[in-house]
Amino acid sequence: MQLGLDVDDTRAREVAFEKSLLICQNEKTELKVRITELERSLHQHRSRNSVVELKANLDQIEELKGQVGELEDALQ
């Protein structure tokens, strides 16, 4: 009878481990999806930041062009 209990106990532990493994595999898959989403979001934010910086630089260039024009007029 003890052998039967050992087999049942072993089988119960095996089932528990399989269930735990499936849960871990699902969590791993979910984390991979989340990582992909975060990487995409990071790329979008970096792109937006670059666009904002380029617009700011363009504004500065336009402002400097205006100042150069004023200085040229003042020199003439």
CA distances from 66 to 13, 31, 56, 59, 62 (A): 79, 52, 15, 11, 6
Tokens of 60: 């500065």
The 10s digit of each residue's pLDDT in 39-54 is: 999 999 999 999 999 9
Instruction: Report residue 60's pLDDT band, with 50, 70 and 90 as the boundaries.
Output: very high
Q: Is 55 a residue whose pLDDT tops 90?
A: yes
Could you tell me the sign of the dihedral formed by the alpha carbons of 59, 62, 66, 71, in that order? positive
The 10s digit of each residue's pLDDT in 2-42 is: 666 788 899 999 999 999 999 999 999 999 999 999 999 99
Side-chain-facing half-sphere of 64: CA atoms under 13 Å: 6
